[in-house]
Amino acid sequence: MTILQAINQPENTGFLNWCSVNFMNIITTIAAIINACYVLYTIKTFKEIKKQTDLQLKAHLSFDTKVFKDSELTKPNTNKEYLDLSFGSDWKKSMQIAFPELSDPGLFDGAYYCIIIANYGNTEVKQISFEIEVIIENSKNIVDTKKLTTKETKNTIIKVNEILCKSASIIIPVFSIAAFPIYTVLINGKYVDVRNQEYSILQIKDKKENKYLQ
């Protein structure tokens, strides 16, 4: 009874009349709000699905470095196309003059700095770029006794333009290090997968020496 009395109040009757007249507009507005919420939810869901899909398809390369001898350059998946035999040739000449007794055994040849690349991701990679800085040093003993240059920095850029499939690997000989007494190699770069997504390479740093040149 109380509810009916409340409804029959003049001010409430006006509201009911307004609702009756605008019933379809109210329903349409509510439907629009529900649809908007559904669209927003759908967009958010698809974004999350895309994010998960991108993570599953993401490329992931691992990088390792190693010095190979001549005989090891015949290993499967070794690509000598990027090997620069002229890189450091001035140091080879300098060492041959400073250490003539070491020239006959061929110690200034046949040792190559190589980058080993493996694709552990879920998509193919189509390009890998390296920016390589090599800091070459003579030991204090060589500088004092042979009067040679203390240090020199060399730079080179390598672009590997070939498809590296999932679970595949490749060995890239870069240059000879046989005539470098002490050398530090700093490698930066990036790679691009077949979806044109770009990835940065965490800097690789190597410091090694050739004991026979100390």
Which residue did the predictor score with more confidence, 140 or 187? 187
Residue 36: the pLDDT is 75
CA–CA separation, 66 and 116 (whole Å): 8
Q: How many CB atoms lie within 10 A of CB 106?
A: 10
* Dist. CA 188–CA 207, nearest whole Å: 15
For residue 156, is pLDDT > 50?
Answer: yes
**Residue 28 and residue 63 in one domain:** no
Whether 199 shows a pLDDT value over 70: the answer reads yes
Q: Are residues 33 and 86 in the same domain?
A: no
What is the mean pLDDT of the segment spanning 128-149? 90
Burial class (CB in 10 A: 0-12, 13-18, 19+), 179: buried
Same domain, 89 and 158: yes
- Is the pLDDT higher at 166 or at 10? 166
Q: Which residue has the higher pLDDT, 143 or 205?
A: 205
Q: Do 51 and 101 fall into the same domain?
A: no
Let me know whether 156 and 205 are in one domain: yes
- Note down the domain range covering 44: 2-56
- Which segments within the chain are labelled E, that is strand? 61-69, 111-119, 125-137, 151-160, 169-176, 182-193, 198-209
**Are both 50 and 154 inside the same structural domain?**
no
pLDDT greater at residue 79 or residue 148: 79
CATH number of the domain residue 177 falls in: 2.60.40.10
% of residues, the chain, pLDDT over 90? 52
Same domain, 28 and 15: yes
Residues 52 and 137 reside in one and the same domain: no
Q: What is the pLDDT of residue 1?
A: 44
Mean pLDDT of the 126-145 span? 92
More confident residue, 13 or 101: 101
Tell me the mean pLDDT in the region 151-176: 95
Tell me the pLDDT tens digit for each residue of 113-135: 999 999 999 999 999 999 999 99
Residue type for position 95: M
The pTM assigned to this predicted structure is: 0.72
